[in-house]
Every structure is written in C-alpha cells, then in structure tokens.
Structure 1
Amino acid sequence: MGLLPDPAGEVTLWIDAPPSEVWALVSDVTRIGEFSPETFEARWTRGSSGPEVGARFKGHVKRNGVGPTYWTACTVTVCEPERVFEFSVGTPDVAVNNWGYRLEPRDGGTDVTEYFRLEPVWFLRGYWLLLGALRGRTNKRGMRTTLERMKAVLEK
C-alpha cells in the first residue's frame, strides 16, 4: 500500500476471564449495544440464531455516537469458538469492511483483540486516503471503549 495509511486497526486488552466466558460475550451480537459506543443494538436475521459461519445479523449504528443512524447487514465469516469471531459488513456479495475478535489465553485470563479492516476496493481506498487517519482514531477509541466495557462485565 506504500505511503497510504493502512485501512485496518486493532486494540488488545487483557481480561481476567477464561476464553470460554469471553467467547460467549463477543459472539453474542445481541449484547453489542451494552458495549459499543456506535452500535447500540443488533439482532440475528434470516433464520440465524447464533454464531456460525454464514449466520446473518443486522446492527443498528449511530455513526460517531451522534449520527447518522442506520442499519447494517452483517455476515459471520469466521467462527472458531474461544479463538476468533469475525463478520463482514455489507451484503454477502459486496462486503465493505470486516470486524472481529481474536482470543488468546494468557496468565489465567484472555488477551482480547478487537480489529477491523476495510475491503481492498478502490472507493474504500480513496475514502481511507481522505479520512482514514480520523476514522482510524475513532475506530480505535471505540474498540478500546468496547473492550473496557466488556472487561468490566466479565470481571465482576
């Protein structure tokens, strides 16, 4: 990609809980509204009722926590219990970006990494060139907030 900013980012936080408990939380999309500063609700759709590759859900997003507000269609793309939960945003044919969680056991707890990456298509590269630094900082702040809120629930 050269001198262009990387259209991806991640934040890692150690949580004093086993991967099984962290997994149950990060893979339950219906709870994201408790944690995310932008996605205030989500629900399984099209007959899906839980995490598995191909499962569909939609998230209700308030961009930057202030608006605009819209629904996003999502599809689970990686589902490895207690290891990785990832989903794409967009239609099954045209994804815009990907979000996920990687879990790694460490010191009796779990390193939880939330990450995002844009799809490598020209219009998203252009968007990232113009607004990437700002959006990347917003995403990283949001991921840190999400993980800190999850940590507070899991360590109660």
Structure 2
Amino acid sequence: MTGRVWSVEESLEIPAPPQVVYAALADVRRMAEWSPEVIWVWDRGDRFLGVNRKACWVWFATCRIVTADPGREFAFDNTTLGLPVARWGYRLTPTEQGTLVTEYWIDRRRHGGRRLLAELLGLVFTGTPAARRAAANRAGMRTTLRRLSADCQRAA
C-alpha cells in the first residue's frame, strides 16, 4: 500500500459569513446541488442516506452527523452495509472577506479485518479502486467548493 493517500483537504475562501456557509452545509439535502457524485439525499435528522452516481455506477451511502458546530464545523461519517468508509467534513474559518472553507475526507477503511471487504465494495459500487479514491475526491471537492461558493454568494 505504499503511496496510498488516506486523507485529503481542499480549501476555498467564500465571500459569505460563516453562518451562511454553515446553514447551507447543514442542510444535507443541498449536497446534490454541489457535489459531482451526490444525486439525492434523504434527510433523517442526525442521519441521512445519500445516493451517489459516477458514470454508470450508482451507490448508497449511509451517513451519521458527528460534528455540528454552527459557524465552525460540520462533519459526518459514511458507512456502507455497516462497514466504515469515510469521514467527510467542512471546517469554517472567518476571514476579512468571508469564510475559508476547508473540505476534508478521511478514509476510514484503514483498520480491521473487514477493510478488504469495504474496499472491494467501494470498487464494485463506485468503479474507483481504493488507492485512487483520494485523487477522485480531491477533484470532486474542488467542484463542490466552487458550487457551494456560488450558492453562498447569492444567499449572502
């Protein structure tokens, strides 16, 4: 596994106050507006189900909100069939022009005997090998942050 990347971060300064950015992120149904993979979200309070698509692959992600700190950070853990997959989150830092938003992803398939099963399911569901997921996520994060920025600017 030499060279495998287990976490990725991307940042973008958004010209909107942290409260506006946080409100958008905390409405998880809106993720389908920004993410290049998310096509639908079923919100169930502190848990939600995301439906994702990439080319001909479609998969579901069961998520649980783990950090909800208004104006500062929003994060959730993603599992598939009960197997830990990833943590996704957004840290918000006030700036003179608005908010520095740092989106992060942490691969949670690192440990345990079920790691290989989780990685195999990830390949089957998404078409992306675990070793290439970080690069795919980095590209997706850039798109997500640009789209989030555009929406927040309109709302501010």
Q: Which TM-score tier does this pair reach, normalised by the shorter chain?
A: 0.7 to 0.9
Please name the residue that 2:147 is paired with: 149
Task: Give the letter aligned to residue 106 of structure 2.
Answer: R
Rounded Cα–Cα distance in structure 1 between residues aligned with 2:81 and 2:70: 22
| Cα offsets for 1:103-128 (capped at 9, x unmatched) | 0001130000111001131526x95x
Q: Does 1:58 align with 2:42?
A: no
The RMSD of aligned alpha carbons is: 2.4
Gaps of 5+ in 2: 120-127
Please name the residue that 1:96 is paired with: 85
Please name the residue that 1:121 is paired with: 111
Counterparts of 1:32-47 in structure 2, within 5 Å, are 32-45=31-44
Equivalent residues, number: 143
Q: Percent identity?
A: 35
Please name the residue that 2:71 is paired with: 82
TM-score normalised by L of structure 2: 0.81
Gaps of 5+ in 1: 49-54
The alpha-carbon deviation at position 91 of structure 1 amounts to 6.5
Measured at CA, do residues 116 and 16 of structure 1 come closer, stay the same or move farther in structure 2, by a change above 3 Å?
same
Contact 1:42 1:57 in 2 (8 A): yes
